[in-house]
Amino acid sequence: MIAENVFLRKQLAFYRERNIKPQRLTDSARLTLLFWARWFNWRNALVIVKPETFIGWHRRAFQFFWHWKSRGGRPRIPRHLRDLIAEMVQENPTWGEARVASELALKLGISVSPRTVRAYWPQGQEPNRGPSSQRWMTFVRNHAQAIVACDFVVAVTLRFRILYVLVVMEVGSRKLLHVNATPHPTSSWTLQQLREAIPCDHRYRWLIHDRSGIFSEDFDRSIKDLGMEILKTPVRAPKANAYCERLLGSFRRECLDWFIPLNERHLRRLAREWSIHYNRGRPHKSLGPGLPDPPPGLPVKLQDRRHEVAKRYLIKKKSILGGLHHEYRLDKVAA
């Protein structure tokens, strides 16, 4: 160790003889020297700067240390607790700081004040401090089984005649209750279609429709006579009737975009054939996947060997809309 120190000092002496100025030290390098200076008499070993400069480094380091130690506020809560608070806020938009703090204390045994919860509240999301107000889509999802939605889509015949296709759906099951076409969609015609779509012993409470002139005040009063309330979508807000708009999009992409209807009768036939396929033969991802109105025997039980067809069964197929789509099923082989 002594020989090594002599060797290092000799090298520093060569630098001093040649008047080579060392580069300016970084803050981390200064802190490193201050740390090691605690273990010996640094004045005899100091070469690169004057003792006054070294003492100045020590004073500034002490100021920084005291400023860090005297910072205001409580220490930060653990990372896992911050993540838990953010998760609870994201999954429960109606909660405020007090509710989150109570949930942590009562059910998880974690003592955190509402003010601390507020300090770690996710940015861009204000806590709820008043009466809970459901968002539109939250309301629709919570009451989907009791909501019916309707809307129109336009189709053009071979002779450029404009026809209007009305669809009526049950939001909860995604079931297409009724579909029909007309060149003149009046309020009375639309009301008659709703009466055909909705049975007398229905369980529905609301009907969603837009603000088209077809849905007149007389129309809404007649719907109320059926025991349902009206939910009108805002102006130019198709997303408020998102489930029905999604159905109309599927109808366009899977049927209307592939055919030019010859006339009103042809369009009705296409729409009704597609509606049967939509309800009973077309898997819906939002249902699990599943079918809005599954026929007997569906869904089938998954096989233990998932890549093989069940024994004693053959795959049969049925063409839909002239072969545009196909439905597949298992047919048991006769013994």
**Interatomic CA distance for residues 292 and 118, integer angstroms:** 44
Mean pLDDT of the chain: 85
Residue 3 — very low, low, confident or very high, per pLDDT cuts 50/70/90? low
Flag whether pLDDT at 32 surpasses 70.
Answer: yes
Rg (CA), the chain: 37
Q: Report the C-alpha gap between 117 and 98 in whole angstroms.
A: 8
Residue 232 has pLDDT above 90, yes or no: yes
Fill in the amino acid letter for 34: L
What pLDDT sits at residue 137? 83
The percentage of residues in the chain with a pLDDT greater than 90, rounded to a whole number, is 44
Q: End-to-end distance of the chain based on CA atoms, in angstroms?
A: 95
Cα 56–Cα 62–Cα 66 angle in degrees, nearest 5? 150
User: How many CB atoms are located within 10 Å of the residue 241 CB?
Assistant: 22
Residue 193 has pLDDT above 60, yes or no: yes
**Residue 173 near residue 145, CB atoms below 8 Å:** yes
- Highest-pLDDT range among 12-21, 83-92, 177-186, 285-294: 177-186
**Mean pLDDT along residues 190-209:** 96
Give the predicted TM-score (pTM) of the model.
0.64
In this prediction, residue 11 carries a pLDDT of: 60
Structure tokens at 71: 């910072």
Q: Write down the pLDDT at residue 50.
A: 73
The CATH H-level (homologous superfamily) assignment of domain 139-287 is Ribonuclease H-like superfamily/Ribonuclease H (3.30.420.10)
Range scoring the smallest mean pLDDT among 84-88, 188-192, 208-212: 84-88
Q: What's the pLDDT at 130?
A: 53
pLDDT at residue 162, as a whole number: 96
Judge whether residue 212 has pLDDT over 70: yes
> How confident is the model over 226-244, as a mean pLDDT?
93
Domain boundaries defined on the chain: 139-287, 300-335
Q: What pLDDT is stored for residue 17 in this prediction? A: 66
9, amino acid identity: R
Residue 60 predicted with pLDDT over 90 = no
Residue 261 has pLDDT above 90, yes or no: yes
